[in-house]
Amino acid sequence: MNEIIQAEHVTFEYRSEEERQLLVLDDVSLSVKKGEFLSVLGHNGSGKSTLAKHFNAILLPKSGKVLVEGMDTTDEERLFDIRQRVGMVFQNPDNQIVATIVEEDVAFALENLGVEPKEIRRRVDQALKDVEMYDFREHAPHQLSGGQKQRVAIAGILAMRPDCIVLDEPTAMLDPKGRREVLKTIRALNREHGTTVVLITHYMDEAVQSDRVVVIDHGKLLLDGTPREIFSQVELLKEVGLDVPQVTELIYELKQEGLDLPDGVLTEDECAGVLRNLLDQIKKGG
């Protein structure tokens, strides 16, 4: 089986205070392949977090269904299995840490699952090494920076040995350094351990680093493609309240002026390359 998560025609609605039905997800079908790094973009209120919460049965679809490794998320008997396969990391690191010592926090879920103490020790050490927080194992969480806390939260999930990690804006509250640390950790997990990653983010430079990007707008799946395909559609992204990376925007803007340049430039190096060609042409012309 190639898909780890399959969402089929998922619909979800909230009831507002005035008893109005608010349709948050509107017939969304999406599958996440084993081992891929998928980014989910969308403005606040687009439904992207609601979708993510369907991936480990925190929310259940109103209609349609979600399968995690073939298990239906509405099947209560499989709830434990589902949550062990798909772990979630949230935005605010302070809301996710429960213990007073880093390694105890990472061990928390394993203790609840009744894992044998020796095995807990092994898995906690490994998880802390994976996120490069092993040296801090005996620190109190309040002594850590935001990025470090978020990596401890990720270690807590890793210790359960999930096949897939869903991260809901894990870097939104971090400074640039913390963001880089967390993203580096996520990428290493994906590349070196083959963990499937679903990253919900507002940061386009993070989405650029993934294998595949989907854009959610008004509860619907608007775009689905490689970063290059998605970020070629500058106008559409701006219409739905999203940015594009500066380098992508510059090349796009120059194209609009009639210059013959490639689509979907994503990185600083690519942008510099395109501009070098452009400037060399002037020299020759001059």
Partner 1 sequence: MGLTVEHLTYQYSIGTPFQKTAVDDVSLTIDDGEIIGVIGHTGSGKSTLIQHLNGLLKPTSGRILLDGQDIFSDKSDLRAVRFQVGLVFQYPEYQLFEETVYQDIAFGPKNMGLDGDELDRRVMEAAHFAGVHDTWLQKSPFELSGGQKRRVAIAGVMAMEPKILILDEPTAGLDPHGRNKILGKIREYHEETKNTVLLVSHSMEDVANFADRVLVMNEGKVFAYDTVENVFRRSEELKAIRLSVPQITNVFHQLAEERYPVPSNVYTVPYAKKKLLELLGKGEQHA
Strands in 212-217's sheet, in edge-to-edge order, are: 86-89, 164-168, 196-200, 37-41, 212-217, 220-225
**Beta-sheet pairing, 164-168 with 196-200:** parallel
What is the closest distance, in whole angstroms, from the C-beta atom of residue 188 to partner 1 in the complex? 20
CA 198 centroid distance within chain: 4
Using the minimum distance from each CB to partner 1, give the nearer residue, 186 or 247. 247
What is the closest distance, in whole angstroms, from the C-beta atom of residue 202 to partner 1 in the complex? 5
Using the minimum distance from each CB to partner 1, give the nearer residue, 52 or 160. 52
Using the minimum distance from each CB to partner 1, give the nearer residue, 113 or 272. 272
Residue 120, class by beta-carbon neighbours within 10 Å (0-12 exposed, 13-18 middle, 19+ buried)? buried
Using the minimum distance from each CB to partner 1, give the nearer residue, 157 or 242. 242
List residues binding partner 1 (CB under 8 A): 17, 43-45, 91, 145-146, 169, 172-173, 175-178, 202, 205, 241-243, 245-247, 249-250, 253-254, 257, 259, 268, 271-272, 275-276, 278-279, 281-283, 285-286
CA 251 centroid distance within chain: 27
Using the minimum distance from each CB to partner 1, give the nearer residue, 99 or 250. 250
What is the closest distance, in whole angstroms, from the C-beta atom of residue 174 to partner 1 in the complex? 8
CA distance 106 to 128: 8
Residue 157, class by beta-carbon neighbours within 10 Å (0-12 exposed, 13-18 middle, 19+ buried)? buried
Using the minimum distance from each CB to partner 1, give the nearer residue, 69 or 270. 270
Check: CB of residue 165 under 8 Å from CB of residue 157.
yes
CA 42 centroid distance within chain: 12
